[in-house]
Amino acid sequence: MTLALNFELGQAVLLVSRASAEAQNLDALQQLRETLAVQVGSSGKVDFEQVDRIESGAVSLASAHYDYVVANPAEPWAVEHSGRVLASLLLALKPSGSLAMHELVLDSTDSITESPITRTKDDLAQQLRFAGFVDSQITSCEPVSESTLRVLGESCWNLSDASAFVARANGHILVAAVTAKKPAYNVGAAAALSFGKKAKAKNTNDAHVAASQPAQKVWMINV
């Protein structure tokens, strides 16, 4: 499954993945980065960051810096984006910026016991809303192949009995392609709201009195 990605000249794009888990697909990631670099041109840029560094706080993404974030784009899609990571990706996007990502989900919460994957697609949609994203859509959701499940069990999750896990999980673990947007304002920006009524001057004397009164208080809220 591939994400439909089309960018414009001059856009700033952030690729987010887990290089250690996807070592067998580093060529695919590099090819994607080169393809995106051609689309955004010399006036744009394509950066790469490992999701583990974002999760641990080892790196802080620049605020309102990217037009687009592409997360977990290549098989075996081993990254489960936590609330902390999603919040960081939201912060890194410019207002109205877009997120495109892959995420592994369960077909139902009780389909597999002891699964490294714990969320359904509905849980994922809810997590995106909690993080602050809007207009989230799951554009496709398909079963993960047996071969990819085996790679996940043996190389990514280091399960003691990967074969038994594949037998239980086959058909129950799906890969969802997701798109979402940042609101048209920068999260955390301050806005000034005045709750007082403005005095209406009836004549010159009233205007002089109103001008001599102390200024009304202004409340600051973060949105």
List, as one string, the DSSP characters of 102-143. EEEEESSTTSSSS-S---BHHHHHHHHHHHT-EEEEEEEEEE
Is the per-residue pLDDT at 109 higher than 60? yes
Q: The whole model's pTM is what?
A: 0.80
Q: What is the pLDDT of residue 108?
A: 87
- What pLDDT, in 10s, does the model give residues 33-50? 999 999 999 999 999 999
Q: What is the pLDDT of residue 221?
A: 39
Q: Evaluate whether 44 touches 10 at the Cβ level (below 8 Å).
A: yes
**Tokens 């602050």 appear where?**
132
Query: Across the chain, where does the E strand assignment appear?
Result: 12-17, 45-50, 66-71, 93-106, 134-143, 173-181, 190-193, 219-222
Read off the amino acid at residue 165.
Answer: F
- What pLDDT, in 10s, does the model give residues 185-211? 876 554 444 455 555 545 555 545 445
Q: What's the helix, strand, coil split of the chain in %, to 5?
A: 35, 25, 40
pLDDT, average across residues 162-178: 93
